Every structure is written in structure tokens, then in C-alpha cells.
């Protein structure tokens, strides 16, 4: 049965875990989470605005003609409007990526709003299709958001695990330069604080620059895309299929955004992004991602592994069979490469 109150539940769980005040012996996962929750609180000054972009959409699989339509990628070529996304492996608790992305985004939205930050979503439900990736990317500039954060999960070979955060590279405007790298770094640190391991299979210390993601390319505001983990990996999937696990992602992302807003007040951000008009696209720009890899960067992963597979004792929700069966995860990722497997 589909959950109906994921953000509230996520926040309640976060409070419960952070407080650690129950009479029961905390599990390892609870201990890990309790040590890491430090929310900076509401940003000072004028109200801030964040655009959250949960990747994909619930009915994309039923709108293949629409989502396969080519759209400008922001660097002179085209790519599909949108894709179906991936999923955890089939089973009782299988969760699709679009569903996971949406739940995590809703949890982030709830926490940000509780701290006085206005939030706009690129999609307000998980039952439609699209919007196209170029539309998502342009929206941050259109609404003058302080930043846009895209939330995804990856579908890599099963042995690979961990999260990574992607920033646009090379930058096409000033907002995509230092401000976006800063945002990506804050997001990486926020997730690391939740004892979530950085990627073993892509990027360097949980970060990577890429030029092939239209949502990032089209943004004229600071932007980053999070791949929360590998849905095909048992350890990552364990986090993704539980409410407590999803709360760790939501808390880590929301805390990172609040810290970033605090450290980038409006005047400073305006100065850093003042020349945010799109720059000339150079023919030397490559469509290939930065493929730096650093397996030694996974600080924190060893402690996390001890809690792998352990339930936090909370109710693991069952996903709608109709939603799960509407997508065919075994085929949706078949054409992607393992190290560049981030479809938009």
C-alpha cells in the first residue's frame, strides 16, 4: 500500500532518531543517525527559495512517445525529454526510482519549509509524466530560485555502492561555476554526516563534474544532482526501501541546503552569480563525464557497513504493486553504461 505521509513520517523518524530517547536499545543505524543530525536552523534575512527536482515521474513508462522526444541538452545537442529511471531489484519491498526520488524530495521540502525556506518542486506528484529535462533545468532561473537540487538514484552493477553528487562541468555561466561546486560539496558533506558512504564506482570523494545532463546545463542558478546510491546494490537498497533510510537522505540533503543558504546570504550569492547569462558553447566541450575515481575516499563507509541489512525497527512500508508493475526495471536501464548511468 502506498504511503501517504512520507514527509511527516520522515520528520517524525528523524526527531525520534535524533533524540534517541526511547526505552529500547538503539540499533547501529540509529546510533549512526543520532550522531549526525545538526540542523542549522532558518537562514537569516529575506526568505529563500529552493527548487527541488525529483527525477523522472510515475507515469513516464506509459508515455514513451512523449518522453522519448528529443530536447536541447544545453550544449548544442539533444537528448530524450525524460526517462523512466531505475528501481531496486524485484521483491516485496521493491521501490522504483521515481517513487524514491519523490519521497526523499518531499521529506526535504518539509524540513526546509519548517525552517522558513520556500520550496517549489518541478513536479508535485508521482503520477504524471515529465517535465522534460530542459524544462526542469530552466525552471530555477525562471522562478529566481537560490538553487536547484535534483534528486535521483542510480542503477549500476550490484557490487558498486554509495552516493555521488554531480555538478555541471565545464560551467556555462557563473552560477554553474563556484556556486554549484560549493552546493555539491555541501550536499556531499550533508549525506556523509548521515553516515552514508560515497560512491565506490564513480567520481572522487562523492563528487563529479559532468557535461551531459541537460537539467544541470540549462540552469542559470547554482545547481547539483544527487545520485543517492545504487538501487541495484543490497546495502544501498536497504537504506532506500525503509522510511528510516529515506529520512537519512532527506535529513542529509535538507541540512546541507540550510547550511549552504546560511553561508551564502543573498548579497553574496547575487555577487557570485551576477553574470549568469549563458555563455558561448565551445566546440571543445566534451559530452563525456569526468571519470575520476578514488576508492580511497570512502571515509565512513566501514562504520556504515556494520549496520547494513539491519532494520531500524521501524515499519518498512510496502509499495504499491500497481506502481511497481507499471515500470519494467529490468529493461529500463539496459542501454546505459555502468559508469555513466545517470539518465535524466
Site of interaction with Zn ion (CB under 5 A): 55, 85, 152
Is the Cβ of residue 85 or residue 252 nearer to Zn ion in the bound state? 85
Q: How far is CA 253 from CA 76, 100, 228, 233, 291, in A?
A: 31, 14, 10, 21, 24
Residue whose C-alpha is closest to residue 96's, from 54, 51, 158? 54
Shortest reach from residue 146's CB to Zn ion, in Å: 23
Asked if 148 is an active-site residue, the reply is no
User: Per DSSP, what are the bridge partners of residue 53?
Assistant: 150
Q: Where are the beta strands (DSSP E) in the chain?
A: 49-54, 70-72, 78-80, 118-121, 147-154, 164-168, 203-204, 207-210, 223-230, 293-294
| Lookup: cell for 58 | 510515475
**In the complex, least distance from residue 277 CB atom to Zn ion, rounded to whole angstroms:** 29
CB of 235 to Zn ion, least distance (A): 19
N- to C-terminal Cα distance for the chain?
A: 27
Q: In whole angstroms, how close is the CB of 57 to Zn ion at the nearest point?
A: 11
Q: Which is nearer to Zn ion, 14 or 52 (CB)?
A: 52
Closest to Zn ion by CB, 85 vs 137, is 85
Residue 190's SS3 state is helix
- As measured in angstroms, the least distance from the Cβ of 221 to Zn ion is 20
Of the candidates 263, 173, 255, 253, the one whose C-alpha atom is nearest the C-alpha of residue 221 is 173
Instruction: Yes or no: say if 114 and 14 are a contact pair by the CB < 8 Å rule.
Output: no
User: Cβ distance 212 to 288 under 8 Å?
Assistant: yes
- Nearest residue to 181 via CA among 273, 247, 108: 273
Nearer to Zn ion, 36 or 83 (CB): 83
Nearest residue (CB) to Zn ion, 153 versus 257: 153
What is the gyration radius of the CA atoms in the chain, in angstroms?
A: 19
CB of 55 to Zn ion, least distance (A): 4
Cα 273 to Cα 92: distance, rounded to the nearest angstrom: 46
**Active-site position among 97, 148, 227, 246:** 227
Three-class DSSP category at 67: helix
Burial 111-144, CB ≥16 within 10 A → b, else e: bbeebebebbbbbeebeebbbbbbbbbbbbbeee
Cβ closer to Zn ion: 55 or 177? 55
Hey, which residues are catalytic here?
Answer: 227
Amino acid at each position: 500500500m502506498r504511503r501517504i505521509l512520507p514527509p511527516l513520517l520522515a520528520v517524525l523518524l528523524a526527531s525520534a532518531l535524533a533524540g534517541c530517547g526511547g526505552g529500547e536499545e538503539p540499533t547501529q543505524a540509529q546510533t549512526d543517525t543520532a550522531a549526525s543530525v545538526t540542523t542549522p536552523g532558518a537562514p537569516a534575512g529575506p526568505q529563500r527559495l529552493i527548487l527541488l527536482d525529483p527525477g523522472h515521474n510515475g507515469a513516464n513508462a506509459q508515455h514513451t512517445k512523449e518522453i522519448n522526444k528529443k530536447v536541447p541538452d544545453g550544449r548544442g545537442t539533444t537528448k530524450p525529454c525524460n526517462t523512466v529511471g531505475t528501481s531496486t531489484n524485484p521483491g516485496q519491498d521493491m521501490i522504483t526510482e521515481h517513487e524514491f526520488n519523490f519521497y526523499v524530495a518531499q521529506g526535504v521540502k518539509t524540513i526546509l519549509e519548517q525552517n522558513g525556506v520556500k520550496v517549489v518542486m518541478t513536479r508535485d506528484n508521482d503520477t504524471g509524466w515529465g517535465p522534460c529535462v530542459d524544462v526542469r533545468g530552466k525552471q530555477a532561473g525562471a522562478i529566481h530560485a537560490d538553487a536547484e537540487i535534483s534528486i535521483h538514484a542510480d542503477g549500476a552493477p550490484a557490487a558498486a555502492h554509495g552516493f555521488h553528487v554531480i555538478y555541471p562541468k565545464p560551467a556555462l555561466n557563473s552560477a554553474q561555476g563556484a556556486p554549484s561546486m560549493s552546493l555539491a560539496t555541501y550536499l556531499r558533506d550533508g549525506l556523509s554526516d548521515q553516515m552514508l558512504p560515497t560512491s565506490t564506482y564513480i567520481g572522487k570523494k562523492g563528487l563529479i563534474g559532468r557535461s551531459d545532463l541537460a537539467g544541470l546545463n540549462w540552469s542559470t542558478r547554482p545547481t547539483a544532482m544527487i545520485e543517492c546510491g545504487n538501487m541495484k546494490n543490497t546495502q544501498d537498497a536497504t537504506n532506500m526501501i525503509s522510511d528510516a533510510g529515506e529520512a537519512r537522505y532527506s535529513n542529509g540533503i535538507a541540512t546541507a541546503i540550510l547550511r549552504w543558504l546560511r553561508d551564502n546570504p543573498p548579497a553574496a550569492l547575487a555577487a557570485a552569480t551576477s553574470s549568469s547569462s549563458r555563455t558561448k558553447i565551445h566546440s571543445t566541450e566534451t559530452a563525456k563525464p569526468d571519470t575520476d575515481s578514488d576508492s580511497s575516499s570512502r571515509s565512513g563507509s566501514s562504520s556504515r557497513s556494520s549496520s547494513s541489512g539491519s532494520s531500524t525497527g521501524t515499519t518498512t512500508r510496502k509499495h504499491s504493486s500497481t506502481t511497481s508493475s507499471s515500470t519494467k526495471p529490468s529493461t529500463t536501464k539496459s542501454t546505459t553504461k555502468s559508469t555513466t548511468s545517470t539518465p535524466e
